[in-house]
């Protein structure tokens, strides 16, 4: 192996040691946190179901694990879906997190695993309405040191936004799940504007009658990304 080849080989070794090992550590942290999300979600559902049975047994409260990276909590007409992305991400150079002293001190701290939280209508799954939309209501970012922050709607954007000091644990996860359910239940189904539903084709009618497949969503024109000033965190510098 000549000198130039040795040098490039050593660069690969160093890159694997720094980047690949870092991402594996973050992946393990995120997966461990997601397993805690599953446990807290299942525990909450059991408590809710026991409580609901005392006054209304018809309201469906369910926990469903879809696989290693996904589970659902069903509360009445809402499904709150928790989904862990299998990849690790960094932030755009213009993102506020990149400007913080915490990250400038160690740039590897900005690499994070992500757990996304979506809200769907339970009938979308029940009637296989594949065109129905679900909405991202929150996401947790977790780094190599288990520091984390939340982006999301309403309280999900405010409860944990101190990336420098917040570390993820069972109490944090329980609070995130609680707020995700509360937001989803308050995020009501609005009737679409008249002009959007004033026509229906025969095909749509037949589909609606056979499978209830007309697209339904809680908001028409809903935008997650900073649509009402939420979802964008400011970080300590």
Mean pLDDT of the region 69-85 = 96
| Domains of the chain, residue spans | 3-211
Q: Find out whether 128 and 120 touch, Cβ atoms under 8 Å.
A: no
CA–CA gap between residue 194 and residue 217 (Å, rounded): 15
What global pTM score does this model have?
Answer: 0.82
The string of pLDDT tens digits covering residues 129-163 is 777 888 899 999 999 999 999 999 888 988 899 99
> What would the two tokens of residue 22 be?
């870092």
Q: How confident is the model at residue 41 (pLDDT cuts 50, 70, 90)?
A: very high
- DSSP H or E stretch at residue 175: helix 170-186
Query: Which residues fall within 8 angstroms of residue 71, CB to CB, at 6 or more apart?
Result: 37, 38, 41, 63, 64, 65, 81, 82
The string of pLDDT tens digits covering residues 16-27 is 877 889 999 999
Q: How confident is the model at residue 222 (pLDDT cuts 50, 70, 90)?
A: very low
Q: What pLDDT does residue 221 have?
A: 35
Query: Which residues fall within 8 angstroms of residue 42, CB to CB, at 6 or more apart?
Result: 63, 65
Which residue in 127, 144, 134 sits closest to 210, CA to CA?
Answer: 127
Q: Find out whether 73 and 177 touch, Cβ atoms under 8 Å.
A: yes
Which residue in 79, 83, 86 sits closest to 71, CA to CA?
Answer: 83
Q: Find out whether 172 and 166 touch, Cβ atoms under 8 Å.
A: yes
The DSSP call for residue 77 is T
Q: Find out whether 184 and 214 touch, Cβ atoms under 8 Å.
A: no
Which residue in 69, 72, 20, 7 sits closest to 42, CA to CA?
Answer: 72
């Amino acid at each position: 192996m000549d000198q130039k080849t040795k040098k490039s080989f050593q660069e690969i070794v160093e890159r694997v040691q720094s980047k690949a090992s870092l991402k594996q550590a973050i992946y393990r942290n995120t997966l461990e946190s997601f397993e805690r999300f599953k446990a807290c979600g299942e525990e909450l559902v059991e408590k809710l179901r026991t409580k609901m049975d005392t006054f209304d047994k018809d309201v469906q409260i369910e926990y469903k694990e879809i696989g290693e990276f996904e589970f659902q909590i069903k509360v009445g007409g809402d499904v709150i879906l928790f989904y862990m992305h299998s990849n690790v991400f960094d932030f755009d150079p213009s993102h506020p997190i990149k400007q913080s002293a915490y990250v400038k001190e160690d740039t590897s701290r900005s690499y994070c695993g992500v757990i996304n939280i979506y809200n769907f209508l339970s009938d979308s799954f029940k009637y296989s309405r594949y065109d129905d939309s679900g909405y991202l209501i929150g996401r947790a970012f977790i780094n190599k040191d288990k520091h984390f922050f939340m982006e999301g709607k309403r309280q999900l954007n405010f409860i944990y936004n101190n990336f420098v000091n917040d570390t993820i644990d069972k109490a944090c996860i329980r609070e995130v799940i609680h707020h995700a359910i509360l937001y989803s239940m308050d995020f009501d189904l609005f009737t679409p504007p008249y002009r959007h539903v004033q026509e229906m084709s025969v095909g749509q009618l037949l589909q609606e009658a056979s499978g209830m497949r007309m697209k339904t969503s809680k908001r028409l024109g809903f935008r997650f990304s900073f649509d009402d000033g939420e979802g964008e965190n400011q970080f300590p510098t």
